[in-house]
Amino acid sequence: MGRIVYYVAASLDGYIAEADDTIQWLTSYHGTYAGEAPPVGGGYEAFYAEVGALVLGSVTYEFILGMLDEGREWPYMGKPCWVLSSRNLPVPSDDGIDVRIVDAPVPALRDEMATSAGERILWVVGGGHVASQFADEALLDEVRVTVVPVVLASGKQLFERRLPGGPMRLTAVLPRANGMVELQYEITRRGEPASV
Residue 119's pLDDT band (boundaries 50, 70, 90)?
very high
pLDDT of residue 196: 46
pLDDT in tens, 50-94: 999 999 999 999 999 998 888 899 999 999 999 999 999 999 988
Q: State pTM to two decimals.
A: 0.93
**Residue 195 pLDDT > 60:** no
pLDDT at 191: 55
Does residue 177 carry a pLDDT above 90? yes
Q: What are phi and psi of 73, to 5 degrees?
A: -90, 155
Q: Which segment of 1-5, 28-32, 82-86, 110-114 scores lowest on mean pLDDT?
A: 1-5
Query: Looking at residue 192, what is its pLDDT?
Result: 56
**What confidence tens digit (pLDDT) does each residue in 133-157 have?**
999 999 999 999 999 999 999 999 9
CATH superfamily ID and name for 4-186? Dihydrofolate Reductase, subunit A (3.40.430.10)
For the segment 21-35, the average pLDDT, to the nearest whole number, is 94
For the chain, domain boundaries: 4-186
pLDDT at 194 over 70: no
> Which of 70-74, 109-113, 156-160, 173-177 shows the lowest per-residue confidence on average (mean pLDDT)?
70-74
Picking from 21, 110, 20, 101, the residue whose alpha carbon sits closest to that of residue 56 is 101
Residue 190's pLDDT is: 59
Residues in CB range of 34: below 8 A, 6 or more apart = none
Asked if residues 160 and 129 have their Cβ atoms less than 8 Å apart, the reply is yes
- Are residues 53 and 113 in contact, defined by beta-carbon separation less than 8 angstroms? yes
Tell whether the model's pLDDT for residue 6 goes beyond 50: yes
Distance from C-alpha of 6 to C-alpha of 140, rounded to nearest angstrom: 7
Looking at residue 93, its pLDDT comes to 84
